Structure 1
Amino acid sequence: MRKLVVLLTVIFAVTAYEIGDIVSARIETCRGCSLNRLPQVKQFVMQDATEYGRLDVHFINGAPPELVVLGEGDKELERLALSHLDRNQCNELVQSKGFSKKAPKADL
């Protein structure tokens, strides 16, 4: 019973925010290593992620690909692994957190 209470507390603590609490997000990942073994995630990180507003990509040596959801003052609200997702699922995840693609720049 104690383990169940601890588990529920952890789940509640991780998900105890609303979409409106999200200010920005970042993807943390290495440039190679594990990312090279995940071609779908690599395509998302290198091609799709930069198209979203309020979403940055930070390359950290040896880091597995993760979406870090941030609130006020860059407070980490949630950290989600991307390694088990394909490219479409990565896009769906980012969109489910309230992020949308930037409007295309007008030709001058």
Structure 2
Amino acid sequence: MATTVTVSYLFVLVLTLAVFTISLVNSASGYYASAKVESCSGCSLNRLPDVKQFIFEDLPNYNNVEFRHIQGAIPELVLFNEHEEEVERLVLSRLTRQECNELLVSKGFIKKSKDNKDEM
């Protein structure tokens, strides 16, 4: 009986480690195809000046990232794969403006080139 429990525990541990490793590799290899920041545009954002500046000043400068207004929603970064399936959702309200930018970059998103800005 103890052997079965030990084997089961090891199996779960190995499976968890495998999922974590795959997740880490996918994240580092540009697994996220697009992202949206979902938030209200006023109420809670007025109490989060760094996040508000990130959303309205920095976010438009990134490729494949957009803002989605949802009345009363707390600010969250929603990450999607190439099939437009939600992969991950992260709360932004505890982050600074710099941390929000670093988070996007760590997830593989890059800023638009100046050439792209001139075309818009």
Q: TM-score range by the shorter chain?
A: 0.7 to 0.9
Quote the residue 1:81 is aligned against.
Answer: 91
* Larger fraction in helix: 2
Q: How does 1:29-108 map to 2 (within 5 A)?
A: 29-104=39-114, 105-106=117-118
Secondary structure in 1 matching 2:66: strand
Secondary structure in 2 matching 1:99: coil
Deviation at 1:21, TM superposition (A): 2.0
Quote the residue 1:28 is aligned against.
Answer: 38
Unpaired stretches in structure 2, ≥5 consecutive residues: 1-8
Contact 1:17 1:77 in 2 (8 A): no
Unpaired stretches in structure 1, ≥5 consecutive residues: none
Counterpart Cα distance in 2 of 1:96 and 1:18: 12
Q: Which runs of 4+ in 1 moved over 6 A?
A: none
Q: For residue 84 of structure 2, what is the amino acid of its counterpart?
A: D
Matched, 1:18 2:26: yes
Deviation at 1:17, TM superposition (A): 6.7
Q: How many residues align?
A: 100
Deviation at 1:73, TM superposition (A): 2.1
In terms of Rg, which structure is larger? 2
Label 1:23 to 1:92 Cα distance change in 2 as closer, same or farther (>3 A): same
